[in-house]
């Protein structure tokens, strides 16, 4: 499987969006790891869902692929992005993150999450393993979404917005 950087094909804006997204993932994954050490049933799943529901849209936004950003594009660009999403098979690109999408995403990482639940009840060592699995699961899901965003941006020939876009409320007319 190609890395996101390889998929970016040397495009400096894509590479920078990948780097910013990976920083976001790193911060959220550390939080997931910390919560995973708490030996209360289900608290880590709730925390993972909350973290993912915020992380996925933030990553999409870095690539100009958040639903609100896509809505502001000219209709032909919106269509091109939707076609690229279908072609790539990107589950979360350009969509609002709903409970159903989070469940689908959790199934994607099911083995790690199940192992994380099982290990957390073994004193100390189990909590450490649970934390590592929580960190790894969130990183893996985030990386998967980054790769999807890069594939869609490349396939749609989508120009990314400048970092921390200040063009909110404007409509691209190209």
Segment 51-82, tens digit of pLDDT: 888 999 999 999 999 999 999 999 999 999 99
Q: Is the pLDDT of residue 172 over 50?
A: no
The pLDDT confidence band at residue 128, using thresholds 50, 70 and 90, is: confident
Pairwise pLDDT comparison (133 vs 142), residue with the higher score: 142
Q: What is the pTM of this model?
A: 0.76
Residue 66 counted as domain residue: yes
The pLDDT confidence band at residue 4, using thresholds 50, 70 and 90, is: very high
| CB neighbours of residue 72 within 10 Å | 18
Mean pLDDT, residues 124-152: 84
* CA-closest candidate to residue 141, choices 92, 98, 96: 92
Question: Any idea which of 11-15, 107-111, 170-174 has the lowest mean pLDDT?
Answer: 170-174
Tokens of 21: 């997204």
How far apart CA 135 and CA 84 sit, in angstroms, is 30
Q: Is the pLDDT of residue 19 over 60?
A: yes
Residue 173 counted as domain residue: no
* CA-closest candidate to residue 106, choices 60, 146, 46: 46
Residue 172 counted as domain residue: no
Residue 3 counted as domain residue: no
**Tally: H helices and E strands in the chain:** 8, 0
Provide the pLDDT for residue 141: 87
Residue 169 counted as domain residue: no
* CA-closest candidate to residue 24, choices 138, 158, 152: 138
Q: Is the pLDDT of residue 117 over 70?
A: no
Q: How many domains does the chain have?
A: 1
State the residue range of the domain holding 34. Answer: 9-156
Q: Is the pLDDT of residue 113 over 90?
A: no
Residue 61 counted as domain residue: yes
Sequence-separated contacts (24+) of 65-69 with Cβ below 8 Å: 65/93, 65/94, 65/149, 65/152, 65/153, 65/158, 66/94, 67/94, 67/95, 67/96, 69/161, 69/165
How far apart CA 100 and CA 164 sit, in angstroms, is 29
The angle at the Cα of 142, spanning 42 to 137, to the nearest 5 degrees, equals 40
Residue 64 counted as domain residue: yes
Pairwise pLDDT comparison (79 vs 38), residue with the higher score: 79
Question: Any idea which of 38-52, 92-106, 141-155 has the lowest mean pLDDT?
Answer: 92-106
Tokens of 90: 């990107």
């Amino acid at each position: 499987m190609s890395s996101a950087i390889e998929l970016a094909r040397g495009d400096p804006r894509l590479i920078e969006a990948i780097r910013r997204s990976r920083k976001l993932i790193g911060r959220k994954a550390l939080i997931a790891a910390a919560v995973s050490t708490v030996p209360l049933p289900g608290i880590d799943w709730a925390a993972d869902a909350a973290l993912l529901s915020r992380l996925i849209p933030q990553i999409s936004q870095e690539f100009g692929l958040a639903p609100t950003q896509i809505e502001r594009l000219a209709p032909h660009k919106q269509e091109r992005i939707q076609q690229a999403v279908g072609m790539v098979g990107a589950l979360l690109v350009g969509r609002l993150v709903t409970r159903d999408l989070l469940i689908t995403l959790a199934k994607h990482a099911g083995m790690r999450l199940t192992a994380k639940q099982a290990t957390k009840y073994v004193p100390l060592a189990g909590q450490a393993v649970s934390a590592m699995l929580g960190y790894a699961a969130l990183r893996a899901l985030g990386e998967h979404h980054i790769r999807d965003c890069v594939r869609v941006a490349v396939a749609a020939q989508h120009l990314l917005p400048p970092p921390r876009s200040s063009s909110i409320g404007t409509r691209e007319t190209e």
